[in-house]
Structure 1
């Protein structure tokens, strides 16, 4: 899931540089939501002992 976050972040950065602000804002929003979902799942897995660190 973290890889998807990084992909959407890269899309947002490229779109922002090229001037596509609507696409950049949407991609950044998706990246932010995916990142927070990743963090929640990481914390849950750490508490349950299922994390592969």
Structure 2
């Protein structure tokens, strides 16, 4: 079973990772690359996709 796709999104104070259809961010990061790295780990673990916005 595949997990939720992970989205990297811009925030006023940096970048965030949010699972598909979640109401809250999973994590916050200072840089886009840090957020991508975190989201990639989650997506790989859940066998889901990584979507980068911005």
Q: Please state which structure has a larger fraction of its residues in strand.
A: 2
| TM-score, structure 2 as length reference | 0.37
Structure scoring higher RCO (CA < 8 A, sep ≥ 6) equals 2
Q: What TM-score do the two structures reach when normalised by structure 1? A: 0.37
Structure having the higher helix fraction is 1
User: Greater CA radius of gyration, 1 or 2?
Assistant: 1
